[in-house]
Amino acid sequence: MTDHRSSIDPSRPSIARVYDYLLGGKDNYAVDREIGDVFKRDLPGSVAIAFANRAALIRAVGEIVTTTGIRQFIDLGSGLPTTDNVHQVAQRHAPESRVVYVDIDPQVLVHGRALLEENDRTRVVPVDVRNPEGILTHPDTLELIDPTRPVAVVFSAILHHVNDEEDPAGIVRYWRDHVPSGSYFFVSHFRSGDNPETAEAERVLQQTFGRGRWRTDAEIESLLDGLELLAPGIVPASLWRPEAVDDPRIGGGEQELTVWERLIAAGLARKP
Ligand code: SAM
């Protein structure tokens, strides 16, 4: 087995580790915290965006497990383990749930091994999200995922790291065409807006990681072509089936959210 620790580069920021820092995690280096602090200083909503995104993902996984018979998940660009990972949420409701985590960050892969030791219904597959066939045919995926049964494919905060020329729609289409009907697709995605904060956030991300593409709600929706988009559609993550019905801002719609909370959208779709 490859020793992924040897390929961890503590001198360059990584998407997974900066995101971990914003979520209050400990799996990051000085270089990640430096960039994370730039985000926090120049884009003061960065932490709120990360938490709003995780919360929507957790709600979506909970809904999928409690309202459908789906018991298998493929979490693409899964990130470093944090509070309430997909397998923990799914297995809380249905202990037999199986989760394949996919990421290319060496630090995520090291933690994946630790995860494996404590849970035999999870695997971490070290394949690039832009290579969906490599993920689907990976021995660990084949071991855990039954391709004849519906599956939940999770694209949480990953497709905005895929540039247009890398065909994000083609990646989603591959999964759509290779999973049975009744499968679910969760997407969260950085969202274009007509405000300077959005433009600045996109610029900082591109400058730091050399890639990144914010998309409009219509563009995000078009990535789900051929799937049935479920209510309430593509909306800011905080407004995606919120639990806090007593939060006065929820009823007020998008205008009640801060510009930061409007920066990340979420949606859930089903293969007919
Ligand atoms: N999905 C998690 C969530 O929503 O909380 C983590 C999102 S984090 C912003 C993006 C993750 O995608 C990082 O862990 C990064 O390493 C991973 N990633 C970025 N590009 C990738 C690629 N081409 N293939 C696989 N993983 C990738």
Answer whether residue 114 is part of any domain: yes
Q: How many domains does the chain have?
A: 1
Instruction: Read off the pLDDT of residues 70-107 as tens digits, 9 standing for 90 and up.
Output: 999 999 999 998 888 999 999 999 999 999 999 999 98
- Tell me the residue range of the domain where 147 lies: 9-270
Does a structural domain hold residue 40? yes
Whole-number Å distance between alpha carbons of 86 and 188 = 14
What does the pLDDT look like over 218-272, one tens digit per residue?
999 999 999 999 999 999 999 999 875 555 555 556 767 778 888 899 999 999 9
Residue 147 maps to a domain: yes
Is 122 a member of any domain? yes
Distance 39 CA to ligand 1 centre (A): 17
CATH of the domain at 217: 3.40.50.150
Cβ of residue 161 lying under 6 Å from some atom of ligand 1: yes
Nearest to 19 by CA among 257, 272, 264: 264
Q: Residue 97 and residue 16: Cα distance in Å, rounded? A: 24
Tell whether 3 is covered by a domain: no
Partner residues linked to 269 by β-bridges: 185, 229
Would you say residue 2 lies in a domain? Answer: no
Residue 204 forms part of a structural domain: yes
1 located within any domain: no
Residue whose CB lies within 8 A of the most ligand 1 atoms, among 47, 131, 156, 161, for a mutation test: 161
